Amino acid sequence: MCTSISLSTPVPLSGRNMDIESAFGEQVVITPRNYPFSFRNRLILYSHFAMIGMAAVAQGVPLYAEAANEKGLYMAGLHFPDNAFYFPPSGGLRQTDLTPYELIPFILGSCRTVEEAKQQLERIRLLQIPFSQTILTAPLHWHIADGKRSIVAEPMKDGLKIYENPVGVLTNNPPFPYHLMNLHNYQALSPHSPKNHFSSSLDLKTYGEGMGAIGLPGDASPMSRFIKAAFLVSNSVAGRNPTDAISQFFHILDSVAMVRGCVITSRGNHDITTYSCCIDIEKGIYYYKTYSNHQITAVHLFHENLDRTDLKAFPLMSKEQIFYLN
């Protein structure tokens, strides 16, 4: 359960809500240009674009949930259960075969734009190979954006499907074509006050603001979160400066966030938005807040030595920070 969005004005921003039952050891991780990425079926990538994002580091390897590279390309993996299909490994492996956990490092390490990412994705086959015996393969689909264009990549039984994403939003199941089709059911919604189309013989009037969007879903299901996020992204008006845009971005994510106790999983656990992030993909600044700390924290990619070979990790600021005036 997650929501990823991308905005292009007034500054290009991309980010997501991570909705999950428990933390996974996540921290903000910068991978510099000369960190050696090892792949199961490819040569070691000794030199690549630097990237910043939220990851768990296992055996010295950053397992990114989402990240952006120094060229302004963003990529996020979202839960896609029962639909994601990875091919079983066989003797006829190809260099274009990757495991799911290798996809974000490979794409962000080698691509500058969505178009370059799409060209690479069209040749990739994803294999059912877990990172380790304790870190299993997660069923995922991916949102890729560069501030001008957005696409979705979904691994299906007949290959990796790539879709243009005109709304800049991705949630979870069903597959992406359903979400685009479902938008047609809500085309009458508007941020403006409604006019009476019900009956010319009835004197019907609005009695409050916001009635033009009556029918906008408010539940936490993937279909409803997609519609609500798409409506807000499409109608969002941010201020002219980057700080206003970042604030607006978090307001959109807040509108589709999970509140503890309101979504209980089949295992009896609470599904919550453990963190929300917003990445200024031009400046390389990763902004985030957590469920227990509403203050926005920022980590700057370009303030680090990006020619080093080792990872730079920043533990999450997870304790609530309150500014007392007296």
Report how far residue 77's alpha carbon sits from residue 304's, in angstroms, rounded to the nearest whole number.
Answer: 25
CA 256 to chain CA centroid, nearest Å: 13
Tokens of 117: 């990412």
User: Given the DSSP bridges, would you call strands 97-98 and 125-126 parallel, antiparallel or unpaired?
Assistant: parallel
* Complete edge-to-edge strand list for the sheet that includes strand 51-58: 159-164, 150-156, 140-145, 74-79, 61-69, 51-58, 27-31, 312-314
Say if residue 10 is preceded by a cis peptide, omega within 30 of 0: yes
For residue 276, the cross-strand partners are 17, 289
* Nearest C-alpha neighbor of 102 from the set 27, 31, 20, 26: 31
* Nearest C-alpha neighbor of 4 from the set 170, 162, 141: 170
Q: How far is CA 274 from CA 18, 27, 160, 195, 277, in A?
A: 6, 12, 29, 40, 10
Told to judge if 262 belongs to the known catalytic residues of this protein, a careful annotator would answer no
Report how far residue 307's alpha carbon sits from residue 316's, in angstroms, rounded to the nearest whole number.
Answer: 24
Catalytic residue chosen out of the listed positions 2, 111, 277, 278: 2
Report how far residue 314's alpha carbon sits from residue 279's, in angstroms, rounded to the nearest whole number.
Answer: 15
Q: Which residues are catalytic?
A: 2
